[in-house]
Chain A
Amino acid sequence: KNEVEQSPQNLTAQEGEFITINCSYSVGISALHWLQQHPGGGIVSLFMLSSGKKKHGRLIATINIQEKHSSLHITASHPRDSAVYICAVERSYQLTFGKGTKLSVIP
């Protein structure tokens, strides 16, 4: 079993839909990161969480430390949100990555 499990692996949504991507992990962590990777390959850090909830524009990330679970929500999705979203957990100065969720938002 991987330390970091993401679901779903693939997600297709209509423009405007509310999207949720889930991440579960099995070890104690110091922080959890949500990353976005566009088709060109570049990686952008969206959030770093150690507790609670963070919001940036249409993106919201939550974490439940007791449940070892995090969610990334996208409100009013847009085709430009199409990308791979990657969850990563941090401990002992290193990251362990999930396999990513490929999101396609259709106009």
Chain B
Amino acid sequence: DSGVTQTPKHLITATGQRVTLRCSPRSGDLSVYWYQQSLDQGLQFLIHYYNGEERAKGNILERFSAQQFPDLHSELNLSSLELGDSALYFCASSRSSGANVLTFGAGSRLTVL
């Protein structure tokens, strides 16, 4: 157990639907990062939050949104889902917002049918 908790582990849904992925960072970590891993694109950075504020945004679609709450857990919302959104979504956390060792969660596997 890495200390980073992601739920759900697996999710199957239909095109057009909306889902929410949740991440609880390791105790004491203030930064949360979201990544998408698909077979054709590999690992891609989506978004980074530090202590509740957005720090960096990567290749995140407009249909996707995220936030980090006062208790530091984070949620990634995916809406109007398409087949191509099927992927593994990883959350990682670190102590601060600079160059830090990352601790990854086990991932949430999303399948869109």
Residues in chain A within 8 A of chain B (CB atoms): 30-31, 33, 35, 41-45, 48, 50, 86, 88, 90, 92-97, 99-100
Majority-rule SS of A interface residues? strand
B50: A residues at CB distance < 8 A: 93
B101: contacting residue among A42, A48, A93, CB under 8 A: A48
For the complex with contacts A44-B2, A48-B101, 16 further pairs of A-B residues with Cβ separation under 8 Å are: A30-B99, A35-B104, A41-B88, A41-B106, A41-B107, A45-B101, A45-B102, A50-B99, A93-B56, A93-B98, A94-B45, A94-B56, A96-B45, A97-B44, A97-B45, A100-B42
B43 and A48 within 8 A (CB): no
- B49 CB to closest chain A CB (Å) equals 10
Digitize B83-112: 1 where CB-to-A-CB distance is under 8 Å, 0 elsewhere: 000001010100001111111101101000
